[in-house]
Amino acid sequence: MSREPLYRRIDGIVSADMDGERVMMSLDHGTYFGIVGIGGTIWDLLAEPRSVAEIEAHVMAGYEIDAETCRADVAAFVADLERNGLVRTV
């Protein structure tokens, strides 16, 4: 039985909202990141372990987007967060 991985924000990331942009700073690496729009919502969801499917369901419930686009965009965004060391699998 395959189980979808769960993702969670890593510790050591400070974030704040600034004029509609979510600004994040990695204290460990001194790296700055900024995200806008639905990215901030996804970031908030990742305070707790979530699968990509759970995130997709939340996005589909709150935004007008087709399932295929949502699936691709959420997967790409979470992969980008992981590549940049902002989330990890748990």
Cα–Cα distance between 34 and 16 in angstroms, integer? Answer: 10
Cα–Cα distance between 78 and 55 in angstroms, integer? Answer: 9
Spatial contact of 88 and 8, defined as CB atoms under 8 Å apart: yes
In a domain, 59, yes or no: yes
In a domain, 10, yes or no: yes
Q: Which two tokens stand for residue 30?
A: 């001194």
Predicted model pTM? 0.90
Task: Give helix 38-45 / helix 52-62 axis angle, nearest 10°.
Answer: 130
For the chain, the domain total comes to 1
pLDDT value, residue 2? 56
In a domain, 63, yes or no: yes
Task: Give Dmax over CA atoms of the chain in angstroms.
Answer: 44
Q: Encode the chain (90 residues) as per-residue pLDDT tens digits.
A: 558 999 999 998 999 999 889 999 988 888 899 999 899 999 999 999 999 999 999 999 999 999 999 999 999 999 999 999 999 999
pLDDT in tens, 10-20: 998 999 999 88
CATH code of 67's domain: 1.10.10
**Structural domain range at position 69:** 6-85
Q: What is the DSSP letter of 3?
A: -
In a domain, 90, yes or no: no
